[in-house]
Amino acid sequence: MSTSTPPLTPDVPDEPPAVRPRPSAPVLVVAGVALAVLLGWAALALRGGPEQDPAELERQLAAARAGYSALVHARPVPLRGRSTGVLEDGDALSRDGHFEDVYAYTAADTAAFSFIATSEAFAPDLFVLAPDGRRVAASALLQTGHRAVVTGLRGRGRYRLVVTSRRPGMGGPYELSVERPPPPRTIEPDEEPDEDTLGTLGTPRAGRYEATYAIPVEADEALIVTVAARTFMPRLYVLGPEGDLTPRLNLERRPTDTLRTVAARFVPAWTAPYTLLVSSDERGARGAYTLTVEKMRTVIAIEPGRAFSKNLGERSGFRDNRYLDVYRFGAERGDRIVVELRTRAFEPRIVLRHGEEVLAEGVRRIEREAPASALFEVDVTSAEPNLTGDYTIAVTTTPPTPPAPDTSVVGPPVPVNPEDLPRRLIERLRERAQRELERQRERQRDEREDGE
């Protein structure tokens, strides 16, 4: 069963679909081969960009096969704007055990539109057959665990689509809509935070309101995305050319009595716009929130001999549920390296590394001789997870003390080259020699006078 709400734009009434005979086996084989060729072309077209996950390609191929079969044999339900339905026993069932509901939508103009399926009960999937015969699977770059999107459709005519699940045998309530989503708002890294209110526009998806943002990023430039609200616990999704990054991220959730925040730290693999979805943990939650996107200081250059103060957690990395700051400095072979850290906010852990080699570990002080003339790094983190606070770090590098001269061996005096002596010493020797020459001349004059 499904119900519909009025369409976003006037819709042409759906005529009853023509009765089609079941395709013969050769026709299905030819269609399958053609579909595989089309998917192969799509994969080749992505060379030089993000590589498709083989499992995702297989999912799209399976969805295409199942969707094609459903579209050929099922009688579609008219879709006008927004509908609700349930995947359950009694629905059409694909060969690999996926429940399927089939819809039809007639586009009255050439404006671009999208189909969006959302569900709290299962991970939905979509497959669309366009009027010109194109078969389009849901985008792997825009899907999350609760939504599937077929975007960028354009052209008049009758579109058929299948709502199914990504895993066999899964079902439950879902929502399906056809709409023209507004372009996402753009927020640049290190710009002023964006302040907005969740729930002022649109209708809930899977029971929750959403706000969409685009962030232009550079590859390998680490970012921190933070959403803070006072009246609800935020939920955050990060989507990019790699797909949904959220399951792979260490999301930091900090609920307090006055402010509730969620933060995601990630390193983009591509120079491209990434998408942020801001939502809520609670169903139907509304309220003001603040979104901040900052560049993360992954490595901090520190000058030996000077103390450096910082807050652990502010623009820090995040690893193993602990905030992480990394410092880099240079030292010469044989230098004595001493790292000291002072803080009252948390119990620290410091690690001295040369490349991937761990040279020393400690709590507040570590000391080690530099094995080579190179750059070294110090990791600063906390002993317990999710701790933050101010600290001061200092690194010193002391050259080795030169050996004392060996005076045990006595030998003939070593000739001294005057050019090797300091200038002032040479001048003093010249002055002494001049005075001795003047005394000799005076004695000679005295001797001549006495003889006369």
The CATH number of residue 25's host domain is 2.60.120.380
Residue 230 domain-assigned? yes
Highest-confidence range of 90-104, 393-407, 436-450, by mean pLDDT? 90-104
Q: Are 283 and 304 contained in the same domain? A: no
Distance from C-alpha of 285 to C-alpha of 307, rounded to nearest angstrom: 46
**Would residue 412 count as lying in a domain?**
no
pLDDT: which is higher, 130 or 449: 130
C-alpha–C-alpha distance, residues 299 and 82, integer Å: 49
Confidence of residue 29 (pLDDT cuts 50, 70, 90): very low
Whether the pLDDT of residue 106 is over 80: the answer is yes
Residue 63 confidence class, pLDDT cut points 50, 70, 90: low
My answer on whether 84 and 8 are in the same domain is yes
If pLDDT is split at 50, 70 and 90, which confidence band does 44 have?
very low
Could you give the maximum distance between any two Cα atoms of the chain, in Å? 154
pLDDT at 393 over 90: yes
131 lies in the same domain as 237: no
Residue 245 has pLDDT above 70, yes or no: yes
Q: Same structural domain for residues 233 and 355?
A: no
Give the end-to-end CA distance of the chain in Å, rounded to a whole number: 147
Last residue of a domain, one of 240, 274, 295: 295
Least confident window among 1-10, 53-62, 215-224, 380-389: 1-10
How confident is the model at residue 49, as a pLDDT? 42
% the chain with pLDDT above 70: 77
Which amino acid does the sequence have at 195?
Answer: E
User: Could you tell me if 190 and 326 lie in one domain?
Assistant: no
SS3 assignment for 220-270:
CCCEEEEEEECCCCEEEEEEECCEECHHHCCCEEEECCCCEEEEEEECCCC
Regarding whether 207 and 138 lie in a shared domain, the answer is no
Q: Residue 407 falls within a domain, yes or no?
A: no
Instruction: Give the residue numbers spanning the domain of 138.
Output: 2-179
pLDDT at 247: 87
345 and 221 co-located in one domain: no
How many separate domains does the chain show?
A: 3
Q: Which of 2-16, 369-383, 405-419 has the highest mean pLDDT?
A: 369-383
Last residue of a domain, which of 234, 266, 295? Answer: 295
Residue 449 lies in a domain: no
Residues 26 and 166 in one domain: yes
Average pLDDT in the chain? 81
HEC-encoded secondary structure of the chain: CEEEECCCCCCCCCCCCCCCCCCCHHHHHHHHHHHHHHHHHHHHHCCCCCCCCHHHHHHHHHHHHHHHHHHHHCCCEECCEEEEEEECCCCEECCCCCEEEEEEEEECCCCCEEEEEECCCCCEEEEEECCCCCEEECCCCCCECCEEEEEEECCCEEEEEEEEECCCCCCEEEEEEEECCCCCEECCCCCCCEEEEECCCCCCECCECCEEEEEECCCCCCEEEEEEECCCCEEEEEEECCEECHHHCCCEEEECCCCEEEEEEECCCCCCEEEEEEEECCCCCCEEEEEEEEECCCCEECCCCCEEEEEECCCCEEECCEEEEEEEEEECCCCEEEEEEECCCCCEEEEEEECCEEEEEECCEEEEECCCCEEEEEEEEECCCCCCEEEEEEEEEECCCCCCCCCCCCCCCCCCCHHHCCHHHHHHHHHHHHHHHHHHHHHHHHHHHHHC
Compute the C-alpha angle 96/246/312, nearest 5°.
160
Q: Are residues 144 and 249 in the same domain?
A: no
For residue 452, name the pLDDT band (cuts at 50, 70, 90).
low
Cα distance between residue 257 and residue 150, in whole Å: 40
In terms of DSSP bridges, do strands 77-78 and 99-107 run parallel, antiparallel, or are they unpaired? parallel
pLDDT exceeds 50 at position 116 = yes
Higher pLDDT, 201 or 10: 201
Tell me the pLDDT band of 377, cut-offs 50, 70 and 90. very high
Evaluate whether residue 437 is within a structural domain. no
Domain identity same for 233 and 351: no
Position 212 confidence tier, pLDDT thresholds 50, 70, 90: very high
Identify the weakest region by mean pLDDT among 111-115, 294-298, 403-407.
403-407
Pair (22, 170) in one structural domain: yes
Calpha distance 184→284 (Å, rounded): 21
- Domain annotation covers residue 435: no
Confidence of residue 114 (pLDDT cuts 50, 70, 90): very high
Among 179, 197, 227, the domain boundary falls at 179
Q: How confident is the model at residue 136 (pLDDT cuts 50, 70, 90)?
A: very high
- Asked whether residue 323 carries a pLDDT value surpassing 90, the answer given is no
Structural domain includes residue 139: yes
Q: Which residues pair with 173 in a beta bridge?
A: 86
In a domain, 442, yes or no: no
Q: Are 234 and 310 part of one and the same domain?
A: no
